[in-house]
A = this chain, B = another copy of it.
C-alpha cells in the first residue's frame, strides 16, 4: 500500500493533459485549486496506514491474500459491504468533501460480477483479463476513475441515432492488438487524481448500439485523453493566498470533462466489447454500489453538524431550545441516511461470481434520501449559523489595520471566543452550503450516481407490488 507521500509522488510522474480557465496546466499536483482535491484522495492512503483505522480501511485481497487498501477490494461478504459504508462516513468526516476514490472501487466490483456473467453466457474470457488487471491495481494501490456518464446529446435518441455519433463513447476502429475509442465522459469526479480510468457504458443498449457497448481501462495519461476541469462555486478563493475564506482549508473536490480523442486500448484492458445485452447489467450493478457509496455524505453531514453546533456555541445560543431541537433534527436526518447505507449493505447477497452485492432496492432508497436530506441539513445549518455567514467581510479586511479593528470589535461575542474562530467556522458552513463543498454535498448528492428520478424508476422496478396487493386483498376478503 502506498503512503500519502508516495501517492502524491506517483501523480507527479503522470503526464496528464489538463485544462483549466482556458489554459493547459503545467503542474497539476501543485495547482492551488486542484491540490486540496488531491489531498482528499491522499487521505484514503493516510488513514489506511494508521493502525486505528486498519480494520475499516484495509483488508486482504481475495486473489493474492495480501493486505490491500479497501478501495481496491472486491467485497467477499456482508461485513465487507458494511465496512465500505463505514469507510465512506469516516472519510467524509475526515475531509468534509468528496474524496473521490469510491467510484473506482464501485467500478471494479461491478466489473468483477459482469465480466463473470458475460463469460458464462458468451464463453468469453473477460473475467480472467479483469482479475489480472485487478491484481495490477491492488499491487500498485492505484486510484481509479470509474467513468460512466456520457454527454448524451439529444436525450430523446439512442446512441446510434445521435446526429453526432460521439455523444456516447464508442469504438471507431478495431485493430489486431486492441481497439480505438472516441467520445467523452462528463462530471468525472477526481479524474486528474487517478492513475487509471475505467470506462463503462451509461445506459441499456440494443443491438444497433453495440459499438457503444464497451468497457475498458486506460492509464489516466494515455495518449489522446484530455481533461477539462469544471469550475465550482467559490473556486478562485483558493487563489487568494493565505486565507480562511475557503472554509475548508485542507480538502476539496473537482470534476472534469474527460475527452477520448481516438485513444488506443489493448485487448487485455478491454472488459466488454459489443455485448450490448450486458450494458444495462453493468450500469445497474455499478449504480447500486455507487448509490451505497453516498455513505460519505453522512460523514460530511457530521462535519456540518459539528460546525453548526460550534457556531451556536460561539454565538452563545447553544442552550436555546430551538437550537437544540435543530441540532437533534440534523442528527436525526443524518443518521437516517446512515441507516440507509448500512441496511443496503447488511441486506446484500452473493453474486454468481462470488462478489457480494448490495441490496438494489435499499441502495436506491438510500440514495433517494441523499437527494433530499443534505439540502434540509444545509437549511438548518444556515438557520443556526446566522446571517453573518454571508455578510462578513473578506479575510483581507480582517488583516487590514484600517478595518481589522472594527471587525475585531464588532464581531466579538462572548468572552473566550476569538473572533477569528467564529469567522473560521462560519466560512466552513458557507463552504459546505454555498461554496466549493456545496457542489459535492448538495448538487452531487442530487445527481451523482444517478438523478433522483433514476432511483425512483429503480424503486418502482425492484419493489414487489404483487406481494403487497396479495396481502391487502387477503385481509379484506377479495378473491380473484
Contacts and interface: CB of A to CB of B under 8 A. Distances in A.
Q: Does more than half of chain A's interface fall in helix, strand or loop, or is it mixed?
A: helix
Given A244-B477, A310-B473, A322-B325, A229 B393 contact: yes
Nearest to A340: B339
Interface in A285-306: 302-306
A302 B154 contact: no
Given A361-B335, A393-B228, A184 B406 contact: yes
Interface residues of A, number: 153
A167 B410 contact: yes
9 contacts: A22-B397, A164-B412, A228-B397, A231-B392, A233-B430, A257-B407, A306-B470, A342-B347, A421-B478
Contacts of A438: 434
A411 B448 contact: no
A338 interface: yes
A25 B270 CA distance: 60
B249 A410 contact: no
A42 to B, nearest CB: 15
A281 interface: no
Contacts of A463: 331, 335
Contact of A331 (B250, B411, B459, B476): B459
A424 B477 contact: yes
Contacts of A345: 346
B446 A233 contact: no
A394 interface: yes
Contact of A368 (B96, B164, B332, B400): B332
A114 interface: no
A456 B322 contact: yes
A387 B456 contact: no
A390 interface: yes
B410 A186 contact: yes
A248 interface: yes
Interface in A226-258: 226, 228-234, 236-237, 240, 244-245, 247-251, 255-257
Contacts of A231: 245, 392-394
A361 B248 CA distance: 29
Given A309-B468, A475-B428, A343 B339 contact: yes
Interface string A436-464: 00110011101110011100100110010
A222 interface: no
A24 interface: yes
Nearest to A149: B387
Nearest to A376: B375
Contacts of A302: 467-468, 471
A233 B442 CA distance: 15
A469 interface: yes
Interface stretch (A64-72, A195-203, A378-386): A378-386
Contacts of A160: none
A31 interface: no
A166 interface: yes
A19 interface: yes
Contacts of A415: 154, 163
